[in-house]
Copies of this chain bind each other. A is one copy, B any other.
Amino acid sequence: MVRKRFPDTHCSVARALNDVGDWWSLLVVKEAMLGTRRFVDFQQNLGIARNILCDRLARLLENGVLIKQDVGEHGTRYEYRLTEKGRDLFTVVTALRQWSDRWNGESDGPELVDRANGEPVRTVTVQSSDGRALDVRSVVYRDSSETDSAAG
């Protein structure tokens, strides 16, 4: 049950999408970031079909985004938890969330605040070496062999 993918592509973005590029994977990761750890909770909170959830969890395990722990307190219990690699998707998920809020209107979902002081987090941006916010037109994709390709 493996979609045709591009494991050996030269493109980093495509390789990232190999791991989390389909519809549900990133939602599973986002749900895990909200604290969800158990199969049934993922299934109910996301409204995902069981077999699809099974497949996505397995793939995220393979890709090292999640780990599976047996916590056999009451019957068969497993916990799916984010690895360091999975937690590192926080930036991606947050950027995506903010983008959606900017362009598709604010959601009534939870607000993301700094645990230390309760203040909202900043808008995620790409920054230059000295901290200026950069948009796509203020950068260049420079190949190692050639210098070209205006972006935008």
Q: Which residues of A contact B (CB under 8 A)?
A: 3, 10-17, 19, 21-23, 26-27, 30, 33-35, 64, 82, 85, 87-104, 107-122, 124-129, 131, 134-144, 149-152
Contacts and interface: CB of A to CB of B under 8 A. Distances in A.
A129 B124 contact: no
B124 A139 contact: no
Contacts of A21: 23, 26
Contacts of A111: 141-144
Contact of A100 (B15, B97, B99, B124): B15
Contacts of A16: 96-97, 99-100, 104
A108 B13 contact: no
Nearest to A151: B33
Helix, strand, loop or mixed for chain A's interface? mixed
Nearest to A64: B103
Contacts of A140: 112-115, 118
B121 A139 contact: yes
Given A87-B135, A99-B92, A110 B141 contact: yes
Given A19-B104, A110-B141, A121-B139, A126 B94 contact: yes
A27 B9 CA distance: 12
A92 B87 contact: no
Contacts of A138: 114-116
